[in-house]
Structure 1
Amino acid sequence: MTVLQISRRFNGPPGSGNGGYVAGLLAERHPAAIVTVLLRNKPPLETPLHLRDGNLLDGTTLIAESRAGAFERDVPQAVSFGTAEAASSSYQSNDIFAGCFVCGSGRSDGLRIEAGGVGPGLVAAPWIPDATLPIGSALLWAAMDCPGGWSLDGMFERPALLGSMTATVFDLPAVGEKCVVVGQNHGDQRRKSFAATAVYGSDDRLLGRAEQIWIRLS
């Protein structure tokens, strides 16, 4: 059994851990190359959580579960850093996500991955990792989280939270490397919305890819 604690720096919605980052912590400890993580309850911050047999527990409450996964869709294609940078200038957040570690525009200590549209159902954002955090696979899982959500239709009218994420990491970027994160909308099924994301390095090498199911709040 492993004890994990989510620092408040890595929050997503107010008072809970960022889903991609939490999922990445579980994936780091899973033997499969491609891992699916299902988020069952909000991950509490600054609280000792127990990881047992792939399940993350807060006492007897199941927070998340991990298992071997597989991809069902094509990976989103790369776009240039300049295109992603221009798209990011159109980024708009809302009160639910303004403090998010990954995409929150109100965070000076976050990743500030602010995705804007580059095509129908397609968004992109620039990302330059810095030296304030260790660059590991959990950080890439976090980077691949929010752009999927911002690719969905109507996130202001019908906000959604990450329900599950299937991902793998192929390589890690260097500090200061100009990366691009891409998100692609794959449609809706009642309250479920589907997306795929990818992060590319400065030489267009694929660093990681993910597929997600988002759950609309209404």
Structure 2
Amino acid sequence: MSGLVASHTPVSDDAPAVSVRLHLPPPLDRQLVLEPGAPGAADARTMLRDGDDVVASAVAAPSPAGEVPAPVTLEVARDAESRGITAEQHPFPTCYGCGPLHPDGLRIRSGPVTGRPGLYAATWTPRETSPPEVWAALDCPGGKAAGFPTTLMVLGTMTAQVLVPPAVGVEHVVLSWSRGDEGRKRHASSVLLTADGRLLAHAEQTWIAIDRPV
């Protein structure tokens, strides 16, 4: 959903990325209204509404900052996937991005990289290159690096920039890592790389820890 809102948000040379904030859990049982940001308007803001309630908003933002870890090979990423969480361990097994039981989902299974503390990796072979699909590939890996599912959390904000669309049908690598905690906030980053380590997309997320249901 974040990628859909982002794809209707105009960017500029000074603000080539998009920052999406989730205000409410998106309802899945009814249609929402998307109000695209006006091209050329200062601080153009895209809104996703459920009636009078704002579910998500997006605005152009500077490129994600911070150093990107050294890339890993496809073989290392596949090894990391072997330590990803299973369907039995997943609190939301039908999640589109990483749920093992979603029939049409991406099923990205990020796992810890051996010998690289704090770094998570997975492979992804795109079926399409639309911004929502790339955003989905960057989303859940950040949550894994932030501590999900040991800590149950939901996405609060995500800022991402797609530099180059990935190639359909070609295996890529997704890396993610924690950027520290701040109270209930968990900060993480993720990147999409080609097999030879070229950076295609970069994202930063803030996750919000929530209480587990009793």
Identity of aligned residues (%): 39
1:52-67 to structure 2, matched below 5 A, reads 52=35, 53=37, 54-67=46-59
Aligned partner letter, 1:143: A
Query: Is contact 2:124–2:171 with CA below 8 Å preserved after alignment?
Result: yes
Alignment of 1:155-170 (within 5 A): 155-170=148-163
Structure 2: distance between partners of 1:28 and 1:76: 27
1:101 counterpart residue number: 96
Q: Is the radius of gyration larger for structure 1 or structure 2?
A: 2
Residue 151 in structure 1 maps to residue 145 in structure 2: yes
Aligned to 1:203, which of 186, 191, 196? 196
> Who is 1:192 aligned against?
185
Correspondence for 1:8: none
User: Could you list the per-position Cα deviations for residues 22-68 of structure 1 after superposition, in whole angstroms to 9, with x for gaps in the alignment?
Assistant: 11111111111201000011112253222224111010111001012
Shift of residue 95, structure 1, vs aligned partner: 4.1
Q: Choose which of 22, 27, 33 in structure 1 pairs with 2:6.
A: 27
SS in 2 for 1:193: strand
When the two chains are superposed, the root-mean-square deviation of aligned CA atoms in Å is 1.5
Q: Distance in 2 between matches of 1:156 and 1:100?
A: 13
Which digits, 9 at most, give the CA deviation of each residue in 1:156-182, with x for residues without a partner? 342111100000101122222110001
Partners of 2:83 and 2:210 in 1: CA distance: 24
What is the TM-score normalised by the length of structure 1? 0.83
Q: 1:188 to 1:47 in 2, by over 3 A?
A: same
Structure 1: which 4+ aligned runs deviate by more than 3 Å?
A: none
Relative distance call for 1:126 and 1:196 in structure 2 (3 A) is same
Partner of 2:136: 142
Q: Unaligned regions of 5+ residues in structure 1, if any?
A: 1-21
